[in-house]
Each structure stands twice: as structure tokens, then as C-alpha cells.
Structure 1
Amino acid sequence: MFSHVMVGTNDIDGSRAFYDALFAAIGGKPGFIDDKGRVIYVHGGAFFMISRPIDGQAACHANGGTIGFAMSSPEQTDAWHAAGVAAGGKSCEDPPGVREGGFGKLYLAYLRDPAGNKLCGLHQMGA
């Protein structure tokens, strides 16, 4: 359904350092900068981008919004979360762990990136 996700930032260099570390923890490559100054990540057929807002206004995070990243295991989810915290992100919600609900048993970890965007590492566990 989705072609890409883009988040805004007021600090391209700081956000790039954060996401380079975050995606390296799950086998991704560092982002590259396009001709408009956006940082682009390509992994597993998906695109994730960071950019200064086109309208010239300050970037802000979406209240109630979450961007979820698929993880292959609880261990990969923990490594992703630890890399994000080490690179300047902040852990949020409950600590990484198993949650059960309408989608079954999930292993989840939540972070806020340096710009305040809420991220989730999600591994769907077997039945």
C-alpha cells in the first residue's frame, strides 16, 4: 500500500547520524543525499526519507503518529532499539517486550528520533 515514508527534521546531519545507526542495526545501508538535500534510505524494497519541510517552516512530529519497522526477531528488535538510543533517540512507551492484542503476539520496541517522531520496531511472533 505504501511507496515511502518521509519525516521532517530541522537538523539533517543529526537525523542522518541517528537513522544511519538505526538502519545499520538491521542490516541497512547508510542514507544518501539527493539533489534536494533529502536523505534517502532503501531497504527491503521500501524507501524511508528525511527532509527539511518544503514549506520552509519548522519540522514537528505527528502527535499520535507512529512509523513501524518490520523486524525479523526479538533480538533484531532489541539491537534496533539499542542502536537508536545510542545514536541520540529516546526510548518511549513501555520497555521493549512482548505485547498481546488484536494482532496476536508481538515483540515491540518504541523510540522517538531526535526530531520527536515516534518509531516502532515490530516483530510478529509465531502462534
Structure 2
Amino acid sequence: MFTHITVGANDVEASRRFYDAVLGALGHEPGQGPDPKGRFWWRTRMGAFAIGTPIDGEPACHANGGTIGFAAKSPAMVQAFHDAGVAAGGKAIEDPPGERNGPFGTLVLAYLRDPSGNKVCALHRPG
């Protein structure tokens, strides 16, 4: 369904370090860039994720109620995502990393805010 997701960053270098850490914990290579517009990109065969300063020149801000979820292959990767993110300048939010039961079954989740306030999570679907 999605081809790419781009989020704004007020400090591109801090955000690049954060996403290199959390996405690296999920098995992805470091971001490539900057491109001609100053963005860094993490690409997979399923889509791409990018960070950069807003093209309109206004400050980056997060979407209230928005979350970007990244797939994790195991519960250990969810924890590694969380730990790497906190170590790279992110902020732990909501419940501690772990299992949640709800209408979508059992999920293993960890939520963070990146250096610009964007809400991201790692999600593993057991079994």
C-alpha cells in the first residue's frame, strides 16, 4: 500500500543517528544521503523511509495521533530497537517494551519519540 514515508527533522544529523540506530537494530543498513534536498533514505524492497528538513522551510513537527510502525522479526529485535533508540537520543513513551493483547491478537511493541518528536514503534507479531 505504501511506497514511502517521510518525516520532518529539525536536526537532521541527530535524527539520522537515531534512525541508523533503531533501524539498524531491526537489520537495516544505514540511511543513504543526503539527496539533493538534504534527505536521508532507508530503503527495502517493500518501501522507503526518509527524514529531512521540511521543504517549505517551516520547523518540523510531529503528527498528533500519528505513529510510524516498523516490523521486527523477533521480540528481541523490539527490545533492541527500544534500547538503541533511547541510547541515540530518543525518548521512551507509553508502556515499557513488551507483549500487548488486544483486538489484533498478541503483539510485541516498543514506542519511542525521535529527536524531532515523531512517534515510532517496533512491532513483532508472534507465531
TM-score, normalising length from structure 2?
A: 0.95
Q: Which amino acid aligns with 1:38?
A: R
Match in the other structure for 2:116: 115
Give matches, 1:95-106, under 5 Å: 95-106=96-107
Q: Percent identity?
A: 60
Match in the other structure for 1:53: 54
Once the two structures are overlaid, the 10-residue window that deviates more, 97-106 or 35-44, is 35-44
Map Cα deviations across residues 81-102 of structure 1 (whole Å, 9 max, x no partner).
1100100001000001111111
Give matches, 1:14-93, under 5 Å: 14-33=14-33, 34-93=35-94
Unaligned runs of 5+ in 2: none
Q: State the shift of 1:44 in Å.
A: 4.7
Give me the whole-angstrom Cα distance separating, in 2, the residues matched to 1:22 and 1:86.
10
Q: How has the CA–CA distance of structure 1 residues 48 and 116 changed in structure 2, closer, same or farther, with 3 Å as cutoff?
A: same
Q: Which amino acid aligns with 1:10?
A: N
Between the two proteins, the alignment pairs up a number of residues equal to 126
Q: State the shift of 1:45 in Å.
A: 2.9
Q: Which amino acid aligns with 1:18?
A: F
Give me the whole-angstrom Cα distance separating, in 1, the residues matched to 2:44 and 2:28.
6
TM-score, normalising length from structure 1?
A: 0.95
